[in-house]
Amino acid sequence: MKMTFRWFGSNDPVSLGYIRQIPGVSGIVTALYDIPVGEAWPKQSIAALKQTVESHGFELAVIESVPVHEDIKLGRPTRDRYIENYNQTLRNLGEAGVPIVCYNFMPVFDWTRSQLAYRLKDGSTTLTFEDETISRMDPVKGDLSLPGWDESYTKENMQQLIDSYKDVTEESLWSNLAYFLERVIPVAEEAGIRMGIHPDDPPWPIFGLPRIVGDMAQLRRIIEHVDSPANGITFCSGSLGADPDNDLLAIIRHFGTQKKLHFAHTRNILRTGERSFQESSHRSADGSIDMVRVLEALWETGFDGPIRPDHGRMIWGEQGRPGYGLYDRALGATYLNGIWETLSKTKG
């Protein structure tokens, strides 16, 4: 297992120098954030990013993510051009020695929360998702202003984009994902890159938009559609764990034994109601997910890829990107490393 840490580039208030001081962190998870979605990433920009990361003593372990253009998800005639740009990015990343790319196929919205700074009893603040609150929000009117989506959309753009999905069903969205996989996975394999699709977050439809990456059956369909060592999963305990019907240990054991878990986000959430949850510390005692059992299942299936603490609380008065403060994620990395070291010493 390789402990990694998410870094949002030069504009991230959490510096690589700070991350370097977290015990056991050897890799960085990042991306090029100034390239418009759909354009190919230049080799020079990739090389500069890698040099910056390596100059601080880290490996560029994962690119998270290379965004998938909405025209691909919608199956528009322009998708082939965007897929070719995507493939060129993969070739350039492979040439630079990047081993893993994390991506998602969520329509319009990436991970979404209903509140950014819910105050917990201990005084820290955290991200929450309340289904009732989300159901009353209208993203077109600007009700939603969260870090889980692209705020560059105007109201007109947002309305047009949501309207374009009115006739998109789960099955047609799946067909568009299958089309993407058939054309991208062979290029990734040739480039020496393992692709890890991230589960939908939350793993159910929001704002009337379909979502198709939320449970064991949907993940199996993706993996079985293109048989390649490059076609894999980013296991996210928080995303999948938001649905109590998902058996996280069974998912790990099924895909782990097939070596299809290419990357892992290990974070905890506390379920607070039907389709509602709040993000907690990484500790098993603080959330609904037994993190010790999750890491034990990863260990038993021989997981040796990158893992990272994910969304954390904002603690000790820290200000910054919601969910991505330094302190709580550093505590999470140390906690996860402690569990892994214990497993390694007690299980052989």
The pLDDT-based confidence of 178 (bands split at 50, 70, 90) is: very high
- Residue 113 falls inside a structural domain: no
Choose, from 69, 262, 282, 311, the residue flagged as catalytic.
311
- Tokens encoding 51: 């040099």
For range 270-278, the mean pLDDT: 97
Strands 276-279 and 125-130: antiparallel
* pLDDT given for residue 87 in this prediction: 98
For range 66-70, the mean pLDDT: 97
- Residue 103 falls inside a structural domain: yes
Distance CA 254, CA 276 (A): 27
- Residue 150 falls inside a structural domain: no
The pLDDT-based confidence of 47 (bands split at 50, 70, 90) is: very high
* pLDDT given for residue 152 in this prediction: 58
Is there a catalytic annotation at residue 179? no
pLDDT digits (tens, 9 = 90+) for 204-232: 999 999 999 999 999 999 999 999 999 99
The pLDDT-based confidence of 151 (bands split at 50, 70, 90) is: low
Edge-first strand order for the sheet with 125-130 is 115-119, 125-130, 276-279, 269-273
Distance CA 206, CA 276 (A): 12
Q: What is the pTM of this model?
A: 0.96
Distance CA 152, CA 47 (A): 27
Other Cβ atoms within 10 Å of 57 Cβ, number = 11
Amino acid letter for position 229 = P
When divided into structural domains, the chain yields a total of 1
Choose, from 236, 262, 282, 327, the residue flagged as catalytic.
236
pLDDT at 153 over 90: no
- Residue 149 falls inside a structural domain: no
The pLDDT-based confidence of 156 (bands split at 50, 70, 90) is: confident
CATH code of the domain covering residue 313 = 3.20.20.150
20, 25, 27, 28: CA torsion to nearest 10: -60
- Residue 320 falls inside a structural domain: yes
Residue with tokens 């059956």: 217
The pLDDT-based confidence of 146 (bands split at 50, 70, 90) is: low
pLDDT at 148 over 70: no
For range 112-138, the mean pLDDT: 93
- Residue 31 falls inside a structural domain: yes
Of residues 158 and 282, more confidently modeled: 282
- Residue 157 falls inside a structural domain: no
- Residue 85 falls inside a structural domain: yes
Choose, from 69, 198, 262, 282, the residue flagged as catalytic.
198
* pLDDT given for residue 150 in this prediction: 53
Degrees, nearest 5: CA angle 175-213-86: 60
* pLDDT given for residue 71 in this prediction: 97
Asked if residues 6 and 64 have their Cβ atoms less than 8 Å apart, the reply is yes
Strands 306-309 and 261-266: parallel
Distance CA 148, CA 150 (A): 7
Task: Please give the DSSP secondary-structure letter assigned to residue 21.
Answer: T
Quote the percentage of the chain above a pLDDT of 70.
97
Distance CA 337, CA 331 (A): 10
pLDDT at 157 over 90: no
- The chain-wide mean pLDDT, for the chain, equals 95
Is there a catalytic annotation at residue 102? no
Alpha helices in 97-139 (DSSP H): 131-136
Query: Exposure pattern of 4-30 as b/e (b: 16+ CB <10 Å)?
Result: bbbbeeeebebebeebeebeebebbbb
Strands 261-266 and 231-236: parallel
Asked if residues 313 and 279 have their Cβ atoms less than 8 Å apart, the reply is yes
In this structure, the chain runs to a length of: 348
End-to-end CA distance of the chain: 15
pLDDT digits (tens, 9 = 90+) for 281-327: 999 999 999 999 999 999 999 999 999 999 999 999 999 888 999 99
Is there a catalytic annotation at residue 311? yes
Degrees, nearest 5: CA angle 184-185-188: 90
pLDDT digits (tens, 9 = 90+) for 81-118: 999 999 999 999 999 999 999 999 999 988 999 988 99
pLDDT digits (tens, 9 = 90+) for 183-197: 999 999 999 999 999
Choose, from 324, 327, 328, 335, the residue flagged as catalytic.
324
Range of the domain at 231: 2-107+170-346
Choose, from 265, 282, 328, 335, the residue flagged as catalytic.
265
At residue 272, φ and ψ (nearest 5 deg) are: -115, 0
Is there a catalytic annotation at residue 225? no
Of residues 174 and 141, more confidently modeled: 174
Asked if residues 195 and 232 have their Cβ atoms less than 8 Å apart, the reply is yes
Amino acid letter for position 4 = T
Residue partners of 7: CB distance under 8 A and separation at least 6? 14, 16, 19, 28, 29, 30, 53
Choose, from 310, 327, 328, 335, the residue flagged as catalytic.
310
pLDDT digits (tens, 9 = 90+) for 229-266: 999 999 999 999 999 999 999 999 999 999 999 999 99
Degrees, nearest 5: CA angle 31-114-28: 20
* pLDDT given for residue 149 in this prediction: 53
pLDDT at 24 over 90: yes
